[in-house]
């Protein structure tokens, strides 16, 4: 698919075939594989800035890749602060760069916080 | 509220081994992990393990992971994924958040096997996109099959740095350099030889001065450090790189032990603040056990042996195994741990665990500022 995807690996062999899905990064449709974390799909697409910090607007991307540091949080389907390195993609998912803590756009009701 | 005889937090090598040992002894075990997949860090370890055959030397972490999973499934252990444990109350109530709801489970015994987190290293530009943990790069390429970058500078020449540098090459990236502030390579010579043969320069007594770039890493400057760890002006070397991976150590992820009121000691050889525990892997809060990196950072082989011990002793305390039977069952795992810690690379951990034993009184003398009683 592209040079960042490791299709053939000397130890792990061929990349396991998975269903293709599409996610939307801003207005950009990006190809992804079912089950992979959002961050993997963004890395594969060459996206390097996942969010900007609230005070100085500095760019951030990934640090731990296993859900521990919150460096990679973005707005996912209107929900800010989602750890993209441990959140799997879903077909049609909308992912946006997060500015500071992001905004809560989604109307939440029905017993949810 | 849900009930479980033994709750294991974390489904890495330590947690799965604890679950297997406890279930084998007849205990009812519930394993909780916040990942969508079990295995912890094992599935990214595609290199062959070291040590003797009893420690599965020659096998790759990823294969060991599959075997452990099969064992645990065969024993009928309940594994709940996608669920984060966020608190422990009264030493026995475990609070969990799943995607859509939260729940609690009352446990007779708890084994914490939450692993460790990678350390950062501060230099100008260290927060730029493209600077990440070596384990992060390992996860992205070996588990998710995506290259984290094309031209990588690896910081740290311990085993993790060397192994991940080689794995970057295997995955098709270019490793521009391996840099270490110490005057000599920290890891096994055989790993260093592999990457040296591939033409990767290893700079010892060097550190990163800065990473530059507009929105992400575009250039990395390294410089020589003197024997007081100060950079030497004029010794700078500029490297054309888009990624910096940090392999500068791990720290135990022991927050849950902290909120449960366990006593801690700061032991650098074990990676920092660790929950004080006995040879039975029990912390200072009765009924709460630890195993693996959370009890002191070592390797996966040690994590699995500690897991077996914690599982056995928790099952014994829950009345599933007589003390005599537990002693007998624990013996091979204790012997195996002793052997794993006997080599030059195990010496630090061995010293650390001994220091912890020696300083137990000190831990009891401290005033707890947070957590339980
Ligand atoms: C990214 C990374 C890469 C590594 N690579 C190597 C390597 O190549 N070679 C090597 O020898 N060692 C490596 N290590 C060291 C490694 O930690 C050990 O080899 C081994 O994996 C430790 O096992 P463990 O079971 O203690 O922890 P882990 O394997 O980290 O497992 C801990 C598990 O606990 C879960 N967890 C944590 N907190 C919670 C919570 N609150 N609620 C629910 N679940 C939770 C995690 O999701 C994880 O699955 C690496 C460590 C890291 C962090
Ligand atoms: S990169 Fe650390 S939480 Fe995602």
B369 lies in some domain: no
Q: Does A111 touch chain B (CB under 8 A)?
A: no
Element (H, E) at A98: strand A98-99
> Å from A19 to nearest chain B CA?
14
**Interface contact A49-B129, CB threshold 8 A:** yes
**Interface contact B171-A15, CB threshold 8 A:** no
Query: Among B246, B273, B306, which residue terminates a domain?
Result: B246
pLDDT above 70 (res B149): yes
Residue B5 to residue B231: CA distance in whole angstroms: 55
For the Cβ of B51 lying below 6 angstroms from any atom of ligand 1, the answer is: no
> Å from B267 to nearest chain A CA?
22
- The pLDDT confidence band at residue A108, using thresholds 50, 70 and 90, is low
Looking at chain B, list the stretches that DSSP marks H as alpha helix, in order from N- to C-terminal side.
13-24, 61-74, 134-138, 159-171, 189-197, 255-259, 300-317, 323-340, 347-358, 360-365
Nearest CB partner across the interface for B139, out of A5, A6, A65: A65
What are chain A's domains?
8-99 (3.10.20.440)
pLDDT in tens, B216-252: 999 999 999 998 989 999 999 999 999 999 999 999 9
Q: How many independent structural domains does chain B possess? A: 2
Size of the A and B interface in Cβ pairs below 8 Å: 99
pLDDT confidence of residue A17:
86
Residue in B with minimal Cα distance to A61: B129
Residue B367 is given by DSSP the state: P
First to last CA, chain A: 40
CATH number, domain at B194?
3.50.50.60
Q: Say whether both B288 and B320 belong to one domain.
A: yes
Q: Does A48 touch chain B (CB under 8 A)?
A: yes
Domain range for B279: 2-117+250-364
**Interface contact A6-B127, CB threshold 8 A:** no
Q: Say whether both B187 and B267 belong to one domain.
A: no
Q: Taking residues B100-129, what's their average pLDDT?
A: 96
- The pLDDT confidence band at residue B57, using thresholds 50, 70 and 90, is low
- The pLDDT confidence band at residue A97, using thresholds 50, 70 and 90, is very high
Q: Say whether both B208 and B60 belong to one domain.
A: no
pLDDT above 50 (res B361): yes
Residues in chain B whose Cβ is within 8 Å of chain A? 34-36, 41, 46, 60, 62, 117-118, 120, 127-133, 135-137, 139-142, 144-148, 170-172, 215-216, 253
pLDDT confidence of residue B52:
54
Whether the Cβ atoms of residue B22 and residue B329 lie closer than 8 Å to each other: no
Contacts of residue A6, defined as CB under 8 A and 6 or more positions apart, other chains included, come to A15, B141, B145, B146, B147, B171, B172
Query: Among B214, B246, B278, which residue terminates a domain?
Result: B246
pLDDT above 80 (res B76): yes
pLDDT confidence of residue B344:
74
Q: Say whether both B169 and B137 belong to one domain.
A: yes
């Amino acid at each position: 698919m592209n040079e960042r995807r490791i299709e053939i690996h000397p130890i792990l062999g061929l990349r396991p075939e998975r269903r293709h899905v599409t996610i939307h990064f801003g207005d950009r449709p990006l190809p992804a594989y079912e089950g992979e974390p959002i961050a993997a799909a963004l890395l594969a697409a060459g996206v390097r800035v996942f969010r900007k910090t609230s005070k100085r607007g500095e760019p951030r991307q990934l640090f731990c890749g296993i859900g521990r540091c919150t460096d990679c949080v973005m707005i996912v389907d209107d929900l800010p602060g989602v750890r993209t390195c441990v959140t799997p993609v879903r077909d049609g998912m909308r992912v946006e760069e997060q500015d500071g803590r992001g905004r809560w756009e989604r109307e939440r009701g029905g017993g949810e916080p | 509220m849900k009930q479980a005889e033994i709750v294991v937090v974390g489904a890495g090598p330590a947690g799965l081994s604890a679950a297997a040992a406890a279930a084998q002894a007849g205990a009812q075990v519930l394993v909780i992990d916040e990942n969508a997949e079990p295995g912890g860090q094992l599935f990214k370890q595609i290199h062959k393990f070291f040590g003797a055959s009893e420690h599965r030397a020659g096998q790759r972490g990823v294969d060991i992971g599959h075997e452990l999973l099969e064992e645990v499934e065969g024993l009928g252990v309940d594994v709940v994924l996608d669920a984060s444990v966020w608190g422990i109350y009264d030493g026995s109530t475990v609070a969990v958040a799943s995607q859509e709801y939260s729940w609690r489970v009352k446990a007779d015994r708890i084994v914490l096997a939450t692993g460790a987190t990678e350390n950062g290293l501060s230099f100008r530009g260290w927060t730029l996109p493209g600077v990440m943990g070596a384990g992060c790069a390992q996860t992205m390429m070996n588990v998710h099959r995506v290259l984290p970058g094309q031209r990588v500078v690896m910081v740290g020449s311990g085993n993790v740095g060397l192994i991940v540098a080689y794995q970057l090459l295997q995955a098709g990236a270019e490793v521009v350099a391996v840099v270490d502030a110490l005057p000599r390579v920290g890891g096994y010579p055989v790993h260093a030889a592999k990457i040296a043969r591939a033409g990767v320069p290893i700079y010892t007594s060097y550190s990163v001065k800065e990473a530059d770039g507009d929105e992400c890493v575009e250039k990395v400057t390294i410089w020589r450090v003197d024997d007081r760890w100060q950079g030497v002006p004029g010794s700078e070397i500029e490297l054309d790189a888009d990624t910096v991976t940090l392999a500068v150590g791990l720290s135990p992820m022991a927050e849950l032990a902290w909120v449960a009121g366990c006593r801690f000691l700061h032991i650098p050889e074990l990676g920092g603040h660790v929950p004080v525990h006995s040879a039975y892997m029990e912390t200072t809060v009765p009924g709460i056990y630890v195993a693996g990196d959370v009890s002191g950072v070592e390797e996966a082989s040690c994590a699995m042996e500690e897991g077996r011990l914690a599982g056995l002793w928790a099952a014994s305390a829950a009345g599933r195994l007589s003390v005599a039977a537990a002693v007998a069952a624990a013996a091979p795992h204790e012997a195996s741990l002793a052997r794993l810690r006997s080599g030059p690379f195990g010496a630090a951990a061995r010293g650390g665990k001994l220091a912890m034993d020696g300083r137990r009184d000190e831990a009891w003398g401290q005033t707890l500022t947070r957590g339980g009683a």
